[in-house]
């Protein structure tokens, strides 16, 4: 029996662009056409169906839900703030609260307004100010019901895909620009952190809890080769810890938000790798990697919230064993006094997986993209028992 703390957060994560549909003013809407990708179109129609989706989450005994705000809806044209869209997200927060689901709100989950990107995106000297204007409006509007804020989702993944590999908008491939963006995102976070805290103070609200969603990747070296070991400790620092160190030095994290999916092994041709299972996107399944990362995070002495962990698979039994195995590793870390406060599975619904389109299936709930019908998978039912009793 694996018991979790009584007040543990249990639920799922989503992001606006990946579930809402019809995000006409976002950079991704343009990008899909530019690169001839599968269009997100109506997506899961979650923008209209959110109440019904939250009913399902409630019925599955979740007590938390992470979603993101689409900046391009709030500010479709530079300087024009659409109050009806802020109202929409207020309604989303109210609907979650009515169902006893704690809202965890992400301000930026990869997508940006197209006008912002056409003006140079994060490279524009005014980028951070633009972002803060948006953050201010949203936080003013939603502070009444939100305690947990995530400023930016996976900043390093965004930089890598959008400015280094160039497969996400704006499609740049430049090391120098990547460094510039890194600095901008760090600044955007720190200033948003201060702004959010200031707004809560002015309104006499309890202090909010603000963080980022940090993608952590396991790096596992299967040899004693010192060169391999050096490469991996360097990668581990660059991808996993450099930004956390920067943000913590600036006292701008109230807890650590963690997204964990997979691991990278060296050497890549090792025979041992043939025994390690993969998901249907070819990502290694390696729950032990989460355990070692959690132990490394202990040094920061902050609460840790698992904000994403999930698998794309056509085999729902595999999804269930994935969840079980990761929860066991989390439990093991808690026993070692790592302060994990919650676990959100990615994702509530099958959704739009960026350049890969709709074929990956990450959902606890299946979505039929013709009828938009939802079907609760067995893994969701198994997970709901854990959410209910806080034990496995």
Q: List residues binding ligand FCB (CB under 6 A).
A: 15, 18, 153-154, 157, 215, 259, 308, 346, 353-354, 362
17 versus 265: smaller Cβ distance to ligand FCB: 17
56 versus 157: smaller Cβ distance to ligand FCB: 157
315 versus 353: smaller Cβ distance to ligand FCB: 353
CB proximity list for 389: less than 8 A, separation 6 or greater? none
Q: Which of 123, 197, 195, 189 is nearest to 152 (CA)?
A: 189
Rg (alpha carbons) of the chain, rounded to whole number = 20
63 versus 153: smaller Cβ distance to ligand FCB: 153
Residue 41's region, left for phi above 0, alpha for psi from -120 to 50, else beta, is left
Q: CB 347 → ligand FCB: shortest distance, Å?
A: 7
Q: CB 251 → ligand FCB: shortest distance, Å?
A: 25
Q: CB 193 → ligand FCB: shortest distance, Å?
A: 20
29 versus 362: smaller Cβ distance to ligand FCB: 362
Q: CB 16 → ligand FCB: shortest distance, Å?
A: 10
Q: CB 106 → ligand FCB: shortest distance, Å?
A: 9
CA atoms of 119 and 132, how far apart (whole Å)? 16
Q: Which of 68, 84, 65 is nearest to 76 (CA)?
A: 84
Q: CB 12 → ligand FCB: shortest distance, Å?
A: 12
263 versus 334: smaller Cβ distance to ligand FCB: 263
> 7 near 390, Cβ under 8 Å?
no
Residues in the chain: 392
- In whole angstroms, what separates CA 376 from the centre of its chain? 22
CA atoms of 130 and 78, how far apart (whole Å)? 9
Cβ atoms < 10 Å from Cβ of 316 = 17
């Amino acid at each position: 029996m694996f018991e979790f703390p009584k007040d543990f957060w249990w639920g799922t994560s989503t992001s606006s662009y990946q579930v809402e549909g019809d995000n006409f003013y976002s950079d991704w809407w343009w990008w899909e056409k530019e690169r001839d990708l599968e269009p997100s179109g109506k997506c899961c129609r979650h923008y209209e169906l959110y109440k019904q989706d939250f009913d399902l989450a409630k019925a599955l005994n979740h007590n938390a839900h992470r979603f993101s705000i689409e900046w391009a809806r709030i500010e479709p044209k530079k300087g024009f703030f659409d109050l009806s869209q802020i109202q929409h997200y207020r309604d989303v927060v109210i609907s979650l609260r009515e169902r006893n689901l704690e809202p965890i709100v992400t301000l930026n989950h990869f997508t940006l307004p197209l006008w912002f990107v056409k003006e140079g995106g994060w490279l524009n000297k005014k980028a951070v100010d633009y972002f803060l204007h948006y953050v201010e409006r949203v936080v003013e509007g939603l502070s009444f019901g939100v305690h947990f804020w995530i400023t930016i989702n996976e900043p390093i993944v965004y930089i890598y895909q959008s400015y280094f590999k160039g497969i996400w908008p704006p499609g740049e491939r430049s090391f120098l620009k990547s460094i510039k963006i890194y600095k901008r995102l760090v600044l955007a976070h720190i200033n948003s952190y201060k702004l959010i805290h200031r707004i809560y103070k002015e309104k006499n609200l309890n202090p909010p809890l603000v963080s980022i969603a940090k993608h952590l990747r396991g790096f596992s070296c299967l040899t004693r080769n010192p060169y391999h070991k050096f490469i991996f400790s360097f990668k581990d620092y660059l991808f996993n810890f450099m930004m956390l160190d920067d943000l913590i030095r600036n006292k701008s994290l109230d807890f650590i938000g963690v997204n964990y999916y997979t691991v990278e092994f060296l050497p890549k041709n090792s025979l041992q790798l043939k025994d390690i299972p993969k998901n249907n996107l070819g990502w290694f399944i390696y729950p032990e990697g989460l355990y070692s990362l959690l132990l490394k995070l202990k040094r920061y002495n902050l609460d840790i919230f698992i904000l994403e962990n999930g698998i794309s698979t056509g085999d729902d039994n595999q999804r269930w064993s994935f969840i079980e195995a990761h929860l066991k590793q989390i439990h093991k870390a808690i026993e070692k006094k790592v302060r994990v406060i919650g676990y959100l599975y990615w994702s509530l619904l099958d959704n739009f997986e960026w350049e890969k389109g709709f074929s990956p299936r990450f959902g606890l709930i299946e979505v039929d993209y013709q009828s938009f019908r939802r079907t609760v998978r067995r893994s969701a039912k198994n997970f709901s028992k854990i959410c209910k009793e806080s034990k496995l």
